[in-house]
Chain A
Amino acid sequence: MASRSAVPSPGRGSLARRERIFAYALLAPAVAAVFALIAYPMYLIFSMSFREGKSLNFLALHTRPFGLGNYEAVLTDSATWHSVWVSFAYTFGTILPAFLLGLGTAVVLNRSFPLRRWLRSLVLLPWAVPGVMVSIVFLWLFDASFGVTNYFLRSLGLISTDISWYTNESTALIAVIVPTLWKGYPFFTLTLLAAMQSIPGNLYEAAEVDGASAWQRFTNITWPGIRGQATLALVLNGLWVFREFDIIYAATGGGPSKTTETLGIRAYNEAFGYFYMGRAAVIGVLMLAIALVAVLLARKQLRKEFF
């Protein structure tokens, strides 16, 4: 890099070496953090996934017999595949409506009008609400007897008896999707708005002169301009929802009858509910494998952004 040669010095070689040492010294704490956060935990998870049986003493895990028993137990358990299905239903059920809401809000905010900066902040606000608080607010909104959702539905004549959203097996998944969608849409608004703002304004002016309708401007200018960012945002937000834990855990803990038990919830319950650390690790490996497939499918977009 040109940065080194720009500093005149008689001892070039030693300076370059000093600079390199400096560069790595600055990096060292971050490397240590990443090692503690990713490398060592991943190693522990993989090694735990081969330790069979349950153990209340986590430190004695390495003395348990070594084998593929956990993989066999987890992968032949129909409850695991049920959780895979729940995870997919939850992820897609959340990101598709969240994407449409994010796209709609981004289009609306991509104009200049009075108070825009503050209204934009308000549209994005749900992003800053902690997941467990989102969960608690929606527990109240969806309360069976006194919740305002049932009140609205009753007033509109859509229901005659109250729905107990979180304890009814057929509505529980919807009742955890709605809060996730509410917390998740601002990410789409944010990324799509940023993409829209990089589209040159004169394209729109030219379209206006040619008499293009709003819909034509959207399909011919806006959409082609944001498609790449939209794919990227879908993958990143999809990964986020796929890993989401707080909202479901606080609302239902995976119930009723496992109807909201995503892989993340299941892994946690296996580990800290039943003390099957090995099985929890296998579920974790399965989650990583699924996430990896998603990343590989979107590798073209991701490469542009991350590398």
Chain B
Amino acid sequence: MGPPRRPLAWTVAVALLCVVLLFPLYWMFVTAVLPTSQVLSREPTLLPALSDISFRAFASAFARKPLATWLTNSLLVTVGATALSLVIAALAGYSLSRFRTRAQELTGLTLLLTKMLPGSLIVIPFFIMATTFHLIDSLWALMLANAAVGVPFATWLLKGFFDGIPRDLEHAAMIDGCGHMTAFLYIIIPLARPGIAACAIYLAILSWSEFVFAKTLINDQARWTITTGMVSFIGEHGIDWSALMAAGIISMVPMIVLFLLLEPFLVSGMTAGSQR
């Protein structure tokens, strides 16, 4: 649809809508930067004075909890799982895009099945498998679990991107004496870079947010991820809301930055299936 009659007024209206929709995030920030006396108030100030703002809660969040350790663990798991499922999905997505095999007919069904399987259910067999292989409390187990969950959707997404690249390109290279794998690595992969980037960011957001596997497969506090760590704040007597919100902001910033980069791909590229 084209522009509305008064485009600027439309912008203002949508901006106001965003203010309402994103109020929870705004309130998180306000809570993190205000002193406790104002946070624990029956009459909270919706627009705090600039002079009241302090970033002490961020420092105290790091001092009170091993946030740095949890963030590092989350980073390791996220990078490992994303890289692993991306490689697996790129190979499979290419195969499904270029060759008609039995597996091609099963991909839709597989994707649909993963959308029906609850995380709190598959964690039971994952827990049993991790116990069998002595992988409880190992970040490797978490990495593998997250990678496995990411593969079906990433494959489906990348297949779509490969479908958009003309076959003639690798055929030309193969006529020139290139092997099929070489053609794939040096011609197709560089062309699919935007799709691969979008897919990587999507996978990273999923791994970073993952909670049920991290909670069940890891007991050792030194190996917790940021999500398990954040939840451990809740049970405490007299929650320090400023520190909790500050920790929450720190844990979310990487994903929000990634999301703002990914968003154009989301709208242009995919319609169904973007929700795990």
Q: Which residues of A contact B (CB under 8 A)?
A: 1, 3, 6-8, 19-20, 22-24, 26-27, 29-31, 33-34, 36-38, 40-42, 44-45, 48, 58-59, 61, 105, 108-117, 119-134, 136-141, 143, 145-146, 148, 151, 182, 187, 190-191, 193-197, 201, 204-205, 229, 232-233, 236-237, 239-240, 242-243, 245-246, 249-250, 264-265, 267-268, 271-272, 277, 280-281, 284, 287-288, 291-292, 295, 302, 305-307
9 residue pairs from A and B, CB less than 8 Å apart: A58-B127, A59-B131, A108-B14, A121-B259, A126-B25, A128-B256, A129-B256, A145-B42, A268-B123
Chain B residues whose C-beta falls within 8 Å of the C-beta of A42 in the assembled complex: 117
Q: Which residues of B contact A (CB under 8 A)?
A: 1-4, 7-8, 10-11, 13-15, 17-18, 21-22, 24-25, 27-28, 31, 39-44, 85, 87-89, 91-92, 94-96, 98-101, 103, 105, 108-129, 131-132, 144, 147-149, 151-152, 155, 167, 171, 174-175, 180-181, 205, 208-209, 211-212, 216, 227, 230-231, 233-234, 241, 244-245, 248, 251-252, 255-256, 258-260, 263-264, 266-267, 270-276
Tell me the complex Cα distance, A306–B116, Å.
14
State whether B115 touches A240 (Cβ < 8 A).
yes
Chain A residues whose C-beta falls within 8 Å of the C-beta of B212 in the assembled complex: 245-246, 249, 268
Chain B residues whose C-beta falls within 8 Å of the C-beta of A151 in the assembled complex: 42-44
State whether A128 touches B255 (Cβ < 8 A).
yes
State the 3 A-B residue pairs at the shortest beta-carbon distance, nearest first.
Answer: A306-B108, A30-B92, A130-B209
Tell me the complex Cα distance, A167–B1, Å.
47
State whether B112 touches A125 (Cβ < 8 A).
no
Chain A residues whose C-beta falls within 8 Å of the C-beta of B10 in the assembled complex: 108, 111, 113
> Pick the contact of A26 from B91, B174, B208 — CB < 8 Å?
B91
Chain B residues whose C-beta falls within 8 Å of the C-beta of A145 in the assembled complex: 40, 42
Instruction: Specify the chain A residue showing the minimal Cβ separation from B266.
Output: A190
Give 6 A-B pairs besides A125-B259, A137-B28, A182-B24 with Cβ atoms closer than 8 angstroms: A3-B171, A45-B121, A132-B211, A237-B275, A288-B121, A295-B112
Least CB distance from B187 to A in Å reads: 14
State whether B11 touches A119 (Cβ < 8 A).
yes
Least CB distance from B158 to A in Å reads: 10
Chain A residues whose C-beta falls within 8 Å of the C-beta of B89 in the assembled complex: 30
Number of A-B contacts (CB under 8 A): 324
State whether A113 touches B4 (Cβ < 8 A).
yes
Chain B residues whose C-beta falls within 8 Å of the C-beta of A277 in the assembled complex: 124
> Pick the contact of B252 from A109, A130, A196, A240 — CB < 8 Å?
A130
Tell me the complex Cα distance, A151–B43, Å.
7
State whether B267 touches A112 (Cβ < 8 A).
no
Chain A residues whose C-beta falls within 8 Å of the C-beta of B27 in the assembled complex: 137, 140-141, 148
User: If the complex has contacts A108-B13, A132-B231, A140-B245, are A29 and B103 also in contact, measured as CB distance less than 8 A?
Assistant: no
Chain B residues whose C-beta falls within 8 Å of the C-beta of A31 in the assembled complex: 92, 103
Least CB distance from A246 to B in Å reads: 4
State whether B266 touches A37 (Cβ < 8 A).
no
> Pick the contact of A130 from B14, B103, B114, B211 — CB < 8 Å?
B211
User: If the complex has contacts A132-B227, A236-B272, A250-B231, are A37 and B121 also in contact, measured as CB distance less than 8 A?
Assistant: no
User: If the complex has contacts A27-B91, A136-B234, are A229 and B271 also in contact, measured as CB distance less than 8 A?
Assistant: yes
> Pick the contact of A58 from B118, B131, B144, B208 — CB < 8 Å?
B131
State whether B122 touches A41 (Cβ < 8 A).
yes
Instruction: Specify the chain B residue showing the minimal Cβ separation from A244.
Output: B118
